[in-house]
Amino acid sequence: QKAPRENLTEEQKRNNHIKSEQKRRTQIKEGFDDLCNLVPKLVTGGFSKSAVLTTAGSWLSDLLEGNRMLAQELKQLK
């Protein structure tokens, strides 16, 4: 059987919360950095998060449309 766990002190809970929040923020920042490296217009950096998302969404839409057109063109050539 497991021994009963001791409850965390308020300070331990607070420290755990701070670490979790820092980890979450780091993951979000790294995700935005990765996205900026993928989208040509964002490589220079310095954009707000909303601008990054808007630009990335627009770029992705254009990319998908371009792929659709190329697939259609390829189909016509066959």
User: Residue 2 — very low, low, confident or very high, per pLDDT cuts 50/70/90?
Assistant: confident
Residue 71 scores a pLDDT above 80: yes
* Chain segment 50-65, per-residue pLDDT in tens: 999 999 999 999 999 9
Of the candidates 63, 62, 31, 26, the one whose C-alpha atom is nearest the C-alpha of residue 49 is 31
- Residue ranges per structural domain of the chain: 10-77
Please tell me whether residue 21 adopts helix, strand or coil conformation. Answer: helix
* Chain segment 3-49, per-residue pLDDT in tens: 888 899 999 999 999 999 999 999 999 999 999 999 999 999 899 99
Per-residue pLDDT, averaged over 72-76, amounts to 95
pTM metric for this prediction:
0.77
